[in-house]
Every structure is written in C-alpha cells, then in structure tokens.
Amino acid sequence: MKLVAGNSNRALAEAIAAHLSTPLTRCVVRRFADMEVFVEIQENVRGEDVFILQSTSFPANDNLMELLILLDALKRASARRVTAVIPYYGYARQDRKPGPRTPISAKLVANLITHAGADRVMTLDLHAGQIQGFFDIPTDNLFAAPVMVRDIKERFDTSKLMVVSPDVGGVVRARGLAKRIDAPLAIVDKRRERPGESEVMNIIGDVQGRACILVDDIVDSGGTLCNAAAALMQKGATSVHAYITHGVLSGGAVARISASQINELVITDSIQATEAVRVSHNIRVLSIAPLMGEAMRRTATEESVSSLFD
C-alpha cells in the first residue's frame, strides 16, 4: 500500500499517513515557469496498491490537473491499482443541466478522472449521490455523519436539540443525522433569487426553546447559513450551531459567519483551512483523517467499507 499526496491538502494527507502508520511516498509535484504541472514519483510503485490523496478545492482547476497528472504518472509506472481519494469533489454542484446549453461538469470531471487511469474513487459527502453513477469504475461515497454525531453527543444535551436542514434539498442528509442522535427535524424553506444569494421564507417545525443544529454538505458564501440562523433565532431557538462537511468559504464568508448569529460553525478538514478560518472565533475544524484512513485500509485489505457506517 502506497500513499501519494498532491498539494491541495497536505495536512490531511499527513494525518491519514500517521493514522495508517504508512509514510507518504516521495514524489515531486511542481510548476514550470508557465504554470504547467510536473510530477515525478521518486519511489518504485510497480505492482503496488496506490492511493492518491487530493481534494479538488480552490484553486479547483490546478488541483484537478495535479490529480490527473498524478494518475497518469502512476499508471505509466505500472502501479497495480490506483485509487483517487478525493475528500472534496469539486464541480459536484454542476450535476445536472439547470438551463439550456449548460454543461454537466460533474460528469465531465468523472470522465477525466476515469480516462486518466483511476481504478476506483473514494470521496466524502458528495453534493448529489447520483454522481457515483457518473463513474464507470467502483466509487465509495463516505459520510462524515459518524464523526459529527460523536462530536455532537460529547458537547450537547441531545434531548434539547433540533436538527435543521437549511433547504428542502438537504432534508435526507439532515434526517439521517437526526435519526442517529434521536432528535426532531425542522426545515428552512428558502427562495434563491440568484446564485450566491438566498432569502429565508419560513421555518417548517417548532424550534421554540431548542438548540438548533444546521446540517449541510457545503458552505460556500455562508449566506444561506447566516439567514437560516437569523430566522431560527427569531422563531425562539436558544442557539444555532452548524455542522457542514466541506468548508469552501469563498470571498467574505468567514467574516460573514463571524458577524452572524451562528454560535459555532463546525467543518471538516476535507478542504485545507485558510488562515482566516484558523483564527476565527466561531469556526472549528473536525478531522476526518481516521475515517478516511480506515476506509482506505479496508479497501486495501478487501474488507467492507459500508460497515463503517452501520
């Protein structure tokens, strides 16, 4: 078993390597003067089971290109099997045609990864579960819910919690977490006027006197979360915490969340935290290294991965 890391999330790769007691394979991933990506694997990988650790987060195109070239380098080096471990799968929000003459970029990226030489893919909390079907190779979509549930149970009195989906599309995800902690479910009904902006319209469910846990897969601009938190507090919630898998946090999202009524935003390290995230007073990062590492170990030893989430 060999672990190869790109540049997108070196800290997570090192944490996974430590969990597996397996050093990262020596490799060089650098840029030429014109920003072309150059890769050189500096250890023998012939006949090995290799896992590439690379999120396709910001800068998405650079990190995606690194992943594709790493795949090509390993296949040409005669690796027996190459698994692309992509904690955050970029372009996942482009999983369908929202209008005429628009692409389905999530499918295009799946094709690129497959044709570059991946034998299987492992990712975390896909924005849309059907993206697994975009790949013609085995694909494992892991869930951060067990990590979040453990943290919630350690920090809250679950008898006073209310799990809240920030939109109708996230109800299945929120219901799954609510079931794990035996808490009721509420839904924020919102109308999005244009991309990146949202207006909260109504709260479905009684949140009076409840500590609310907002659950979603991606926080980008933070507008939806902040509006939802304000609406929940207006309806009598005692506090609002948010548990989100992927902290994209683009633009002024960190400042927006810091100034909002969200008591704490909890994200995973599927995307490497920026300095602004690290110093924020109300953003905390949970590590998914043990979860990802155990799934990789089970894949290498041909054990069940789904039993991790039973």
- For residue 114, what are its two tokens? 């497959």
How does DSSP assign 127-139, residue by residue? SSGGGGGG-SS-E
Based on its alpha-carbon atoms, the radius of gyration of the chain, rounded to whole angstroms, reads 20
- For residue 190, what are its two tokens? 């919102």
Q: Is 62 annotated as a binding residue?
A: no
Q: Is 222 annotated as a binding residue?
A: yes
Residue type, 15: A
Q: Is 192 annotated as a binding residue?
A: yes
Q: Is 72 annotated as a binding residue?
A: no
Q: Is 35 annotated as a binding residue?
A: yes
Q: Is 299 annotated as a binding residue?
A: no
Q: Is 220 annotated as a binding residue?
A: yes
Q: Is 221 annotated as a binding residue?
A: yes
- The residues near 258 (Cβ < 8 Å, ≥ 6 apart) are 280, 281, 282, 283
- The residues near 53 (Cβ < 8 Å, ≥ 6 apart) are 3, 4, 5, 6, 9, 12, 13, 16, 85, 87
- For residue 180, what are its two tokens? 């794990």
CA dist 61 to 66, 126, 264, 279, Å? 9, 18, 31, 27
Q: Is 130 annotated as a binding residue?
A: no
75 in active site: no
- For residue 163, what are its two tokens? 């799990």
- For residue 52, what are its two tokens? 């590439």
Give the max Cα distance, the chain.
61
Q: Is 269 annotated as a binding residue?
A: no
Q: Is 233 annotated as a binding residue?
A: no
Q: Is 94 annotated as a binding residue?
A: yes
Q: Is 115 annotated as a binding residue?
A: no
Give the relative orientation of helices 60-76 and 105-116 as an angle to the nearest 10 degrees.
30
Choose, from 75, 153, 179, 190, the residue flagged as catalytic.
Answer: 190
CA dihedral sign, ordered 100, 106, 107, 113:
positive
Q: Which residues are annotated as a binding site for Mg(2+)?
A: 127, 167
Annotated binding site for ATP: 34-36, 93-94
Catalytic residues: 190
Which residues define the annotated binding site for D-ribose 5-phosphate? 192, 216, 220-224
- Residue list for the binding site: 34-36, 93-94, 127, 167, 192, 216, 220-224
